[in-house]
């Protein structure tokens, strides 16, 4: 997931390079027999990577537009992505969130880079509150529980 403008610009630059590489390979129409399959596989691999980068950039653009207002997290481990998406959709930078929480911007960068693995539950609650996010919890007892 792209979490900031620096990553977004880097992703767009990588995407441009992948698309240029694809175009260059596609211009090589007459690849000899044994190399033809490798050539086709290279193009397919580059297209796959470009599609992934394009999807990430599109998601970031949709989030940044502010039109998305709700993010589902089906587990606590998915809460981190929902908080990052909320921050982006709100139009806040990592710096703005850090200022709101009165912590260093680098701490927010570390939290987001590690999917909030080192953040306490209290800190996650603080982040959600700072963002004005309403988090609803549901605890479901598994079917194999005694």
Under DSSP, the state recorded for 10 is: H
Q: Which of 44, 12, 138 is nearest to 36 (CA)?
A: 44
| 58-78: pLDDT as tens digits | 999 999 998 888 888 888 889
How many Cβ atoms sit within 10 Å of the Cβ of residue 58?
11
Residues 6+ apart with CB under 8 A from 19: 50
Answer yes or no: are the C-beta atoms of 103 and 111 closer than 8 Å.
no
pLDDT in tens, 73-132: 888 889 999 999 999 999 999 999 999 999 999 999 999 999 999 999 999 999 999 999
pLDDT of residue 1: 92
So where are the chain's domains? Answer: 5-64, 76-131
At 15, is the pLDDT very low, low, confident or very high (cuts 50, 70, 90)?
very high
Residue 97 Cα to chain centre, angstroms: 17
Q: Which residues contact 53 (CB under 8 A, 6 or more apart)?
A: 11, 14, 15, 18
pTM: 0.80
In DSSP notation, 46-100 reads HHHHHHHHHHHHHHHHHHHTT-------SSHHHHHHHHHHHHHHTT--HHHHHHH
Lookup: tokens for 68: 């998305």
């Amino acid at each position: 997931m792209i979490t900031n403008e620096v990553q977004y610009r880097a992703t767009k630059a990588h995407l441009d390079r992948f698309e240029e590489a694809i175009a260059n390979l596609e211009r090589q129409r007459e690849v000899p027999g044994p190399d033809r399959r490798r050539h086709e596989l290279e193009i397919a691999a580059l297209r796959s990577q470009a599609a992934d980068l394009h999807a990430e950039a599109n998601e970031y653009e949709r989030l940044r537009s502010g039109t998305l207002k709700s993010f589902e997290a089906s587990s606590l481990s998915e809460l981190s992505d929902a908080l990052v998406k909320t921050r982006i959709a709100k139009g806040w930078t990592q710096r703005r969130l850090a200022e709101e929480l009165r912590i260093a911007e680098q701490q927010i960068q570390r939290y987001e880079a590690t999917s909030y693995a080192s953040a306490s539950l209290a800190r996650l609650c603080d982040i959600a509150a700072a963002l004005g996010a309403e988090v609803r919890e549901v605890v479901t007892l598994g079917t194999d529980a005694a």
